[in-house]
Structure formats: structure tokens, C-alpha cells
């Protein structure tokens, strides 16, 4: 339960790790005010001695003061436009820092600080297709014909390997138009055995040793450049492009809302209200109830000054005027 986040801080040669049960969903909003407020926020969370198990981590960041580097991944509303706005604004509120997306997830943060990583091969999960939540665009060119599909995971497609591709293609429903928002994409050219992938999320090292599952294929990592896929299917399918202005408007609105009641506090409050109802029901039945306070309530909200809030709004406004 929750939206689990991990925060890593490197400062003056000292490394610290922190955890929040609810912080990942809008992690980018807590980083927007800049290095000092973000570090202050991270240090308010529960300090821990070890990294999370990656499948349970919904978002994380490394704030490295010594290297002046911010490395992060999070949900970003599962929206390309919003994510583009968030990263561009972070580049303005973290001047002199490298602001980078961790496409390989938590393992990439571990590598960045020199910690050992889990190199065990992951068992492939079969990608699902045709469901309403599928938001990964797969396009396939074969003998001059283009087909398109929506699946639930780019990572699963890659890990399934070349042997599964024909079975997947025959089972996946074909689409003739692309929805307004997709979070990732894979393009296959069967004739020359090339493939490329982009994502606004993470791939969790799915491309590591990709040649083992795709012998004879050449893979390209397009990071978040959806235009690479769009260019290859131009004239056949329109791939949605990020709308920066829309993303900036959404970012400003979410930032203001986050200062009133962030999603983490709201979630914990709902959970507390539910436990109160359980207590009341137990008392009415002559029973006793006890709440075990574990990670469920582990989160401390941001505490920004007016000046820090204003800095974010100024950065968003400047980005809107001069997006280059």
C-alpha cells in the first residue's frame, strides 16, 4: 500500500538514505524548489540503512551535492507533457546541477554512488494488450506494411525476447489510430531486424545484454525521444507529441495544490479516517482494536517558505516564455 519513495543524499562525502511510504507519486513536486529545500525535505523522511527492493520502489532520487547531480525517476502523472515541463523547470531551479532521468530505475542510482547492484536476470512477464490501461505503443514494419498495438509494458516486450514476438503480434489487437497519451513506445523493423525504444518512465535495465534475447537484432535506446518512433511511422500513424504549454499549466496547478495538501498527506489522512471507523465499529461491538504503526504513516510533508514557492512559479513562468 502506498507510493513508496527512496531519497539518497550525498553531501560532503557522507551518504544517507531515506524512505517515504507515500512520496513517490508526486516526488517531482518536492524537488522543484531546488537543492536546499529538496535536501531538507528528504532529510525529514525516515532514515534507513538499506536500499529498497526495486519492484516495490515507485520513485526515487539521488541528491548529490558533491557532484552537483540530481538523478531521479517517478510517476510524473504518466504524462509526457507534464514530465517534460517538470524536468525543464528542475533544470532552472537547480542551476549548475546536472538534472538527469534514471531510465534504469533504482539500480541506476545505486551505480551512481558506487553501490553493488542486483545483476540477477529477471524472469520475463508476458506483456498484456488490448486493455484500457495499456499505454505503450508498439509499431511493427514488415514488407512495407505498418501495424500498431497498445500493450502495458515496454520492459516486458523486451524481456520476452525475439522468439515471442511473432506470437505476440498475432495475439495483440491492432489499432488504426493512437490515443492522445502514451508513456512509452517500441518500434520494430522486421525486414532489417532493428528496434528502438523510448519511455517517459523506466526500463529497469531491460536493454542490458539485450542481444541474448534478441540475437541478430540491433536495438537503439531513444530515452524519451518519442519523435524517433513518430518519424518511422509518419504517414501511417500519428504519434502524439508532448505539449509543453499544457504540461507547464498542469505542473503549476499541481504544485499549488501540493502545498495545500500533498497527495501523501491526503492518502494517510484517508487511511486514518478508515481506521477511526474500524475503531468505532469495534467499540460498538464491545471489542478492542489496535493499530500497528508501521510504514503506512511514514511521510513528512514539505515545508516551504513563501520565497521558495515564488522561485518555482518564476521558473515555470520563465520556461513558458522561453522554452529553449
What are the cell numbers at 88? 525543464
The CA angle 319-80-119, to the nearest 5 degrees, is: 115
286 SS3 class = coil
Q: Quick one: which H or E segment has residue 273?
A: helix 263-284
- Enter the pTM of the model: 0.87
What are the cell numbers at 126? 508476458
What's the rounded mean pLDDT across residues 281-308? Answer: 65
Check: CB of residue 319 under 8 Å from CB of residue 248: yes
CATH code for the part of the protein at 136-232: 3.30.420
What's the rounded mean pLDDT across residues 261-288? Answer: 51
Report d(CA 312, CA 302) in Å as an integer: 14
Residue 269 has pLDDT above 50, yes or no: no
pLDDT tens, residue by residue, 53-86 = 999 999 999 999 999 999 999 999 899 999 999 9
**Cα–chain center distance at 298:** 21
Domain boundaries, the chain: 1-120+243-324, 136-232
Check: CB of residue 104 under 8 Å from CB of residue 205: yes
Q: Looking at residue 302, what is its pLDDT?
A: 81
Report d(CA 113, CA 15) in Å as an integer: 9
What are the cell numbers at 55? 519492484
What are the cell numbers at 155? 520492459
Alpha helices (runs of H) in 165-261, residue ranges in sequence order: 165-171, 210-213, 227-232, 244-260
Amino acid at each position: 500500500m502506498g507510493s513508496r519513495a527512496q531519497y539518497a543524499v550525498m553531501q560532503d562525502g557522507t551518504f544517507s538514505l531515506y524512505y517515504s511510504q507515500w512520496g513517490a507519486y508526486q516526488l517531482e513536486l518536492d524537488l522543484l524548489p531546488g537543492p536546499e529545500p529538496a535536501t531538507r525535505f528528504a532529510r525529514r523522511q525516515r532514515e534507513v540503512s538499506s536500499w529498497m527492493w526495486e519492484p516495490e520502489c515507485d520513485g526515487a532520487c539521488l541528491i548529490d551535492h558533491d557532484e552537483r547531480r540530481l538523478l531521479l525517476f517517478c510517476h510524473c502523472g504518466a504524462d509526457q507533457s507534464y514530465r517534460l515541463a517538470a524536468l525543464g523547470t528542475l533544470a532552472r531551479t537547480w542551476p549548475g546541477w546536472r538534472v538527469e532521468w534514471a531510465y534504469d530505475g533504482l539500480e541506476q542510482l545505486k551505480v551512481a554512488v558506487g553501490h553493488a547492484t542486483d545483476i540477477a536476470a529477471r524472469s520475463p512477464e508476458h506483456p498484456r494488450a488490448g486493455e484500457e490501461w495499456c499505454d505503450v505503443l508498439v509499431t511493427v514494419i514488415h514488407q512495407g506494411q505498418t501495424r500498431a498495438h497498445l500493450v502495458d509494458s515496454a520492459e516486458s516486450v523486451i524481456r520476452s525476447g525475439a522468439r515471442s514476438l511473432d506470437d505476440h503480434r498475432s495475439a495483440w489487437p491492432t489499432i488504426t489510430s493512437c490515443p492522445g497519451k502514451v508513456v512509452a513506445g517500441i518500434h520494430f523493423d522486421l525486414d532489417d531486424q532493428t528496434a528502438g525504444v523510448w519511455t517517459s518512465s523506466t526500463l529497469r535495465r531491460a536493454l542490458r545484454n539485450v542481444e541474448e534475447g534478441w540475437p541478430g537484432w540491433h536495438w537503439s535506446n531513444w530515452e524519451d525521444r518519442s519523435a524517433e518512433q513518430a518519424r518511422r511511422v509518419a504517414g501511417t500513424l500519428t504519434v502524439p507529441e508532448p505539449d509543453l504549454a499544457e504540461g507547464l499549466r498542469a505542473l503549476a496547478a499541481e504544485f499549488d495544490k501540493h502545498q495545500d495538501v500533498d497527495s501523501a498527506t491526503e492518502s494517510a489522512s484517508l487511511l486514518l479516517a478508515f481506521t477511526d471507523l474500524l475503531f468505532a465499529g469495534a467499540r460498538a461491538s464491545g471489542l478492542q482494536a489496535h493499530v500497528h504503526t508501521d510504514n503506512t504513516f511514514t511521510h513528512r510533508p514539505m515545508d516551504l517558505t513563501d520565497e521558495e514557492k515564488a522561485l518555482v512559479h518564476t521558473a515555470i513562468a520563465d520556461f513558458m516564455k522561453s522554452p529553449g
